[in-house]
Structures are given as C-alpha cells and as structure tokens.
Structure 1
C-alpha cells in the first residue's frame, strides 16, 4: 500500500513539473505585430495580451547618432515593421523591456538577431551572449566580407560610444558647476550676467556654491 502510494505521488509530482515547465515555455513566447522600430536592436510589439518593448537578445546595434545607426534601423524596419513576429523571451531588463530572440517570415523561420549581425548592422554582444554560436558566426561572416559597419577602418562599438558620451556629459556638468552666476538681495534664483531679471547684484558665486546656499536656476539661464 505504501509503495503504491509512493508511485502515485511520483506520478503527481512529474505531472506538476511538466505543467510548470510547459507553462513557463508558453509564457516566454510572444507573437504579435511590430508597430514601431526604434533602432537596429529595439522594436515595439502589439499582442492580444498587451504591448511590449522588445530589446534584441545578444546584439548591440549602432546608436542612431553613430555611423550606420540609421541604416541598421532601416534594415530591421524593412523586414518586420507592420509584420507578425515571434519573440522567444530570454529575460526582462532593468528598463522593463523584454529581451528576446525575434523570428519572422513564413513559419517564423528567419532569426532576425542573426540577420542584423550578419549584414553588418549590429555587433555580437559578447558580454551578454558569450555562448551564442549563431551570433558569433554571424559577426565573423560580416567582418570577413566587410559588410555594413565593417567597411569602416575603425568602427566604434555602441557600448564604447555610450560610455564616451556619458563621460563627456559628466565632464560638461562638472565644468558648468564652476560657472559664475549672480544673485539679488531678496531673490531665490541665480542668474547669468546681463539677465533681464537681474536688477541688482547682491553677490556672485559659482553654480555649485549658489545651489549649496539654496538658490535655484533662473529660467533664462
């Protein structure tokens, strides 16, 4: 009796595990229509369940302001904008976007992530997809045949480009904090020299000093 009960429990446990695994696999696939393409590695998907912003798994396309950024966006849009696609979701990133593998065309046979890299309009994002041989081979092919961005003698990876832009903005902000501004005797704002609201000058400070004293920027600054 005890053995029979044990066998029944094993069957129930196995069935529960199957249901959980099956439910998880279903939950991680989205099928819908692409309503918008933001750039070469991000699109917007409309499904019966809702709207999603989808980041392509394992690739990083040039920013729109970079060389080949616009071409990358156009490459993706020409293939899937307004079309039905399937997204195998890998994860959700810190911005709430679904990160996934996008498939399009008849029977969803075309792997878009690979197509973009193979055409030279995105990099294989090694940091997040080190073991993805499809993307590794696609980049090797693009490099070999100098496709897309690989025609450039020294292409800049998007993550390096973003890092340099961030450093530049931080330096710019630090420099601006040393700019000299002026305050009035009774006002709560700081002003640039010659500001129409600066009727009289009661003191001058750097922006950093003025903000530390509780002053806020004039809207004309």
Structure 2
C-alpha cells in the first residue's frame, strides 16, 4: 500500500471517528433536552396570592370565598429551605419571577395531599411545567415520590441538564453541600 493510500485511509478513519464523537455529543444533548410527548395538562386555573418558598405557593380560596389561602406544594421537587443561604431565597425569587402575577394551572397528582395537608400539584404556566423549570435552572432537586410519578423522567432529565451545566445549586464555585432534606434534619 502506498503512502498516499495509507494517508487517505487514515484521514477517512479520522473523519468517521470525529463523526462518531459529534453524533454521540448530539445524542447526549438531545436526550437531555428532549421532552415527553406533548400533552395538554388538565387541571384548575387559580390565582396565586403568594409564593411561600421555592416549592410552595398560596392560592386564593375556592370560588373567591373569604378565608385563608390554600397552600400548594409542587410535586416531584425539593427546593432549599429559606434558611439555607443563598439557595433557599434564590429558589423563592425564581418561582416569583416565573409566575409574576399570572394565574397558573394546577394539575393534581394521584395523591392529592401531603402529611401537612398541603395540596400536591404540578404547576403549569403558559404551557410550561414550573416544577421542571425550577429543577432545570438549578433551584430545586428532582425528588420522585410515589404515587405521583407522572413527570419524573422530565424532572430527572432537567436535573441532569442543570448538573452538567453547573447552574444554581450545581455551581461548582458555590455548590449546595446539603440536600434540603439533610438541612432540615440538621436544623430541627
């Protein structure tokens, strides 16, 4: 085999190798950013009275009747406690920015209340799952809790993307050292 043939064969092999690496990277990014098949959320449109923290909102009582606002806990996420500086206040501020003064759609889970009697729901705004947006921006952890597992894969992909991008609680220069659950357990 001549040197020209050998060089051509080597260059061809290098081209295929680069193509394989490029395709592998593309597949990784595509799998992390892919969404589940589009579906329209079913639920109730509500007015948000207040953002309690990075994982809970308070909504107007049903039928605008007088009374105390109802607390709603976002399903599938665990945001840092407000005392967990600087991540807790940042998560609350992010949820405030995402919602603003707009009404949100609450999609109930299979289990509708937690042990604190908060309503459990997936929260949607303008077709976007806010539970997922908080995780994707690095303001909360994806925490699956059976039987409410409908969007677990979306939340898991969002967390992996945030971790790889090093955003929010995943920032390598200022990482969150304790999970919210660990922080709460240490500070009871």
The two structures have a TM-score, normalised by structure 2, of 0.67
Larger Rg: 1
- Cα distance in structure 2, aligned partners of 1:79 and 1:140: 21
1:70 to 89, 95, 107: 89
Q: How does 1:120-139 map to 2 (within 5 A)?
A: 120-128=138-146, 132-139=152-159
Q: Which residue is 1:142 aligned to?
A: 162
Q: Which residue is 1:164 aligned to?
A: 186
Q: Which residue is 1:98 aligned to?
A: 119
Structure number with higher relative contact order (C-alpha < 8 Å, ≥ 6 residues apart): 2
Moved over 4 A (4+): 127-131
SS at match of 1:126: coil
Q: CA deviation at 1:48?
A: 4.6
The two structures have a TM-score, normalised by structure 1, of 0.57
Higher relative strand content: 1
Number of residue-to-residue matches in the alignment: 136
Name stretches of at least 5 consecutive residues in structure 1 with no aligned partner: 1-27, 167-221
Contact 1:36–1:81 (8 Å) recurs in 2: no
Name stretches of at least 5 consecutive residues in structure 2 with no aligned partner: 1-41
Q: Tell whether 2:136 aligns with 1:114.
A: no
